[in-house]
């Protein structure tokens, strides 16, 4: 049994694989091949989003990978700009159509604010409206689980105030150098599973000599150490790659990081995202 066989159980009883394939930056024309390669290696958790522009390719990969649909866990995300019930309903159906699937295993609100106003204005009402649309699609059986992404505690509390369904997932930027411990603890207290995107800090962590030295001690690569770190935080880890060799390596995490080393990684700060700092989620 490897990490690819291990699952968490969401608060509604749905099983979700602990390690998934992130598809951000994978072109729509390459996404089907990436998904098929990942599934052949043993991945069963595939993550996409409306904003990635590759739902069509991801869906094609899911439909043609040779594994029963019931064995796969497919996630997508409602565009961050949609803060309206009617638009959200249309967009949910749009994702189902682009994916070519009869249901989605997990759908998230991609961000509490539109990307051009990330961590900016007040979209509390719009988020409640988008959430109501997700709840309705969940009730109708179109989506098995629903959640959010990039939500801080106050954003979650806004949803919880009127929710019929508590978010089952919060997908967050979590990696060595960016560990939101208080938010992780809050999510755990509400039985909200955290998914860690960019567990390798979008590559920025590869330049860290201290992390490299620690990886050397364990006889693993820096990406493997970083993925293992997020798994030991009890999060789903979602490294993104279209390279089958990297997919295999990312799944080679059957080792244990010591408590002391977990503390060192947890206390790391100030990762330089370089050119990727232009993306809102990486902005300081």
Q: Is 243 exposed, middle or buried (0-12, 13-18, 19+ CB in 10 A)?
A: exposed
Where in 179-239 does DSSP place strands (E)?
193-197, 236-238
Q: How far apart are CA 261 and CA 150, in angstroms?
A: 26
Q: How far apart are CA 239 and CA 93, in angstroms?
A: 27
CA distances from 56 to 29, 50, 61, 64, 256 (A): 9, 10, 9, 12, 37
Selecting among 8, 43, 52, 123, the annotated active-site residue is 52
Which residue carries 């962590």 as its tokens? 205
Q: How far apart are CA 239 and CA 230, in angstroms?
A: 10
52 is known as an active-site residue: yes
Q: Indicate the length of the chain as a whole number.
A: 284
- The 10 Å Cβ neighbour count of residue 215 is 20
Q: Where are the alpha helices (DSSP H) in the chain?
A: 28-41, 55-63, 85-99, 124-139, 153-160, 181-189, 209-218, 222-232, 244-250, 259-267
Q: Which residues are catalytic?
A: 52
């Amino acid at each position: 049994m490897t990490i690819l066989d291990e699952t968490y159980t969401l608060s509604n009883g749905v099983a979700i694989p602990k390690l998934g394939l992130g598809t951000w930056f994978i072109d729509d024309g390459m996404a089907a091949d990436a998904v098929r390669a990942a599934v052949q290696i043993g991945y069963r958790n595939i993550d996409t989003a409306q904003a990635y522009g590759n739902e069509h390719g991801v869906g094609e990969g899911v439909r043609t990978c040779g594994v029963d649909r019931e064995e796969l866990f497919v996630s997508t995300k409602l565009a961050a700009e949609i803060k309206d019930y009617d638009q959200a309903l249309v967009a949910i159906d749009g994702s189902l159509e682009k994916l070519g699937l009869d249901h989605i295993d997990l759908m998230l609100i991609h961000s509490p604010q539109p990307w051009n106003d990330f961590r900016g204005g007040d979209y509390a009402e719009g988020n409640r409206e988008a959430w109501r649309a997700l709840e309705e699609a969940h009730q109708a059986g179109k989506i098995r689980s629903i959640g959010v992404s990039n939500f801080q505690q106050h954003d979650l509390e806004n949803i919880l105030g009127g929710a019929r369904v508590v978010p089952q997932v919060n997908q967050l930027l979590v990696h060595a150098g960016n560990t939101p411990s208080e938010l992780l603890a809050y999510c755990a207290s509400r039985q909200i599973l955290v998914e860690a995107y960019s567990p390798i800090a979008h590559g920025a962590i590869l330049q860290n000599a201290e992390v490299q030295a620690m990886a050397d001690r364990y006889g693993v690569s820096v990406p493997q150490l970083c993925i293992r770190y997020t798994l030991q935080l009890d999060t789903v880890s979602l490294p993104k790659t279209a390279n089958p060799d990297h997919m295999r390596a990312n799944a080679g995490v059957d080792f244990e990081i010591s408590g002391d080393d977990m503390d060192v990684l947890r206390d790391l700060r100030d990762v330089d995202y370089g050119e990727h700092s232009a993306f809102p989620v990486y902005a300081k």
